[in-house]
Amino acid sequence: MKVFDVTRGDGPVILGQPHGGTWLPDSLTARLNDNGRQLADTDWHITQLYDGLLSGATVVRSNVHRYAIDANRDPAGASLYPGQNTTSLCPVTDFDGNPIWAEGQEPSEDEILARRDAFHAPYHAALAEEIARVKAKHGIAILYDCHSIRSVIPFLFPGTLPVFSIGTDEGRTCDPTIEAATAETCRAAGETVVNGRFKGGWTTRHYGRPSEGVHAIQMELAQRAYLAAEAAPWTFAPAIAEPTRATLGMVLTQLDRSGALS
């Protein structure tokens, strides 16, 4: 199994997809408990959701499930949201706070380092390479990090998540015009929040350097906007997804134009 896949495009937009992979080594699957083997915290069908929305976009996607290691967490292990419930670089619980490993099978510190080298580092090396390539070609690179999550997860946030949650680390990771255009398009289509519970993960915060011509923005999409139900078997629902895809297509087109006008 390849750790990641890259589809190169010739435009300024890069789609990062760190959480859509479902592959785990058999040795790790055997150590998960029954709850962990459900892989419920996957960004289900995220590649299918974005497929074909922007001609010329580059796609960098991880094939490894986040229970092996989370490619959108700080490799040093620092929390993205100090003081709030979240999951770690190598998660030991799911999004509901329930254990995912069989008793005594949680990863050791040495194992976390090994997984970081085997799975986290290669994905980010590929992403960094594509950012450098795109910036060299266009003078600008726009990293759009694709995510999705269940709408109701009391362990992580109160109430029901808006359909569109946009994260730019309080405006630090991209030009204000990019944030504003994305938010305006989303607000016209449904419930939208900017820098609410999700302010952008490590990917967005690490790569977003507007002063250097690299802009990063995270989209955390509520899964009710494209799945038949936010539960197993996590079925992609084309009729539900169609208007969502239309909105996302408009967002990506605007980002593409922002890059072309740089």
List pLDDT tens digits, range 43-87: 999 999 999 999 999 999 999 999 999 999 999 988 787 777 788
pLDDT > 60? residue 260: no
Q: Give every strand in the sheet of 141-149, ordered side by side.
A: 4-7, 58-62, 13-17, 141-149, 214-222, 164-167, 192-194
Task: Quote the pLDDT of residue 228.
Answer: 98
Q: What domains are there in the chain, each with its CATH number?
A: 4-260 (3.40.630.40)
pLDDT reported for residue 86: 82
**pLDDT given for residue 81 in this prediction:** 77
Compute the mean pLDDT over every residue in the chain, rounded to the nearest whole number.
96
pLDDT-derived band of residue 1, with 50, 70 and 90 as boundaries? confident
Handedness of CA 102, 90, 22, 20 (dihedral sign): positive
Q: Which two tokens stand for residue 129?
A: 């390479």
**Token match 């069908």: residue?**
45
Distance CA 223, CA 199 (A): 18
- pLDDT-derived band at 134, boundaries 50, 70, 90: very high
- Residue 69: what are its φ and ψ, rounded to 5°? -165, 145
Residue 261: pLDDT band (50, 70, 90) is: low
CA distance 204 to 226: 23
How does residue 246 score in pLDDT terms, banded at 50, 70 and 90? very high
pLDDT value of position 84: 79
Whether the pLDDT of residue 124 is over 70: the answer is: yes
Residue 142 pLDDT > 70, yes or no? yes
Q: At 194, which amino acid appears?
A: V
Average pLDDT over residues 147-161: 97
Helix axes 176-187, 238-260, angle to 10 degrees: 150
Mean pLDDT throughout 112-129?
Answer: 98
Quote the pLDDT of residue 15.
98
Pair 202, 169: CB distance under 8 Å: no
* Mean pLDDT, rounded, for 146-163: 97
* Number of other CB atoms surrounding residue 72 within 10 Å: 25
| Measured CA angle at 200 (ends 53, 191), to 5 deg | 65
Exposed / middle / buried, residue 139 (Cβ in 10 Å: 0-12, 13-18, 19+) = exposed
pLDDT digits (tens, 9 = 90+) for 179-205: 999 999 999 999 999 999 999 999 999
Please report where in the chains the tokens 């069989």 appear, as a residue: 102
Q: What is residue 87's predicted lDDT score, i.e. its pLDDT?
A: 87
Per the CB < 8 A criterion, the answer to whether 254 and 185 are in contact is yes
CA distance 79 to 83: 9
Q: What is the pLDDT at residue 262?
A: 52
